[in-house]
């Protein structure tokens, strides 16, 4: 398994960032390749429609929410084996650090998302996660 950790500092209070992170239906607005997202059940599951590797794919994920700690864990239950966390840390009353951690098997990712020049390359994954965090920052700061 490989692990990637990235973070972004955003100009909103921690509660605002936490609320933004929990609006699953907005995921297509900041997660590249996600074309559809919906929360299922009691909010402990999400369904994602993804376009990657030149084809449409569907994934389900389980979400464990540690609200008091401002930590969200997730694990795919279908599709490639992916897991990760989002943790929010207050910088001050008006600023929050969002830390993302992604754990993945490079070979499983290569099969699901594309060959040697696709998503499976470590540098491509790093760029994608950084870009997604920057888009999340924009979304949270716009308050939408």
Give 51-71 pLDDT, tens digit per residue: 877 778 899 999 999 988 999
- Amino acid 133: pLDDT: 95
- Amino acid 52: pLDDT: 75
Instruction: Give the HSE-up count for residue 79: Cα atoms under 13 Å, Cβ half-sphere.
Output: 23
Identify the segments of the chain with pLDDT beneath 50: 118, 120, 144
CATH number for 78: 3.30.530.20
- Amino acid 81: pLDDT: 83
Helices (H), the chain: 14-21, 27-30, 106-113, 122-142
- How many structural domains is the chain composed of? 1
**Structural domain for 47, as ranges:** 2-143
């Amino acid at each position: 398994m490989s692990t990637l950790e990235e973070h972004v500092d955003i100009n909103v209070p921690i509660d605002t960032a936490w609320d933004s992170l929990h609006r699953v239906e907005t995921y297509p607005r900041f997660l590249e390749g996600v074309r559809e997202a919906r929360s299922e059940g009691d909010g402990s599951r999400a369904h994602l429609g993804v376009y990657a590797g030149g084809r449409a794919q569907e994934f389900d994920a389980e979400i464990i929410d540690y609200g008091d700690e401002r930590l969200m864990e997730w694990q795919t239950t279908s599709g490639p084996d992916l897991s990760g966390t989002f943790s929010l840390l207050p910088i001050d009353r008006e600023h929050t650090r969002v830390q993302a951690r992604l754990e993945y098997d490079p070979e499983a990712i290569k099969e699901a998302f594309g060959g040697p020049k696709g998503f499976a390359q470590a540098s491509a994954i790093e760029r994608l996660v950084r870009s997604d965090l920057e888009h999340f920052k924009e979304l949270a700061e716009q308050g939408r």
